Amino acid sequence: MTKLSVNVNKIATLRNARGGNLPDLIQVAKDCEKFGAQGITVHPRPDGRHIRYEDVRNLKKIVTTEFNIEGYPSKDFIDLVLEVKPDQVTLVPDAPDAITSNNGWDTIKYREMLFEICQNFKKEGIRTSIFVNPETIMVQNAKLCGTDRIELYTEGYAVNYPINPKTAIESYSQCAEEAIKQGLGINAGHDLNLHNLNYFAQNISQLLEVSIGHALICDALYLGLEETIHRYLSALKISL
CA 10 to chain CA centroid, Å, is 14
Classify residue 97 as exposed, middle or buried by CB count within 10 Å of its CB (0-12, 13-18, 19+).
exposed
Listed range (29-33, 85-89, 99-103) with the worst mean pLDDT: 99-103
* Per-residue pLDDT tens digits for 189-228: 999 999 999 999 999 999 999 999 999 999 999 999 999 9
Catalytic residue among 43, 50, 66, 209: 43
Q: Is 214 a catalytic residue?
A: no
- Side-chain-facing half-sphere of 24: CA atoms under 13 Å: 4
Residue from 33, 66, 70, 178 carrying the catalytic annotation: 70
Distance, CA of 89 to CA of 80 (rounded, Å): 11
Residues 34-43 as b/e (b if ≥16 CB within 10 A, e otherwise) read ebebbbbbbb
pLDDT at 103: 78
Write out 28-55 in H/E/C secondary structure: HHHHHHHCCCCEEEECCCCCCCCCCHHH
Q: Model confidence over 49-98: pLDDT tens digits?
A: 899 999 999 999 999 999 999 999 999 999 999 999 999 999 999 866 65
Confidence check: pLDDT of 99 > 60: no
Average pLDDT over residues 119-125: 97
Catalytic residue, candidates 50, 66, 151, 190: 190
> What pTM, to 2 d.p., does this model score?
0.94
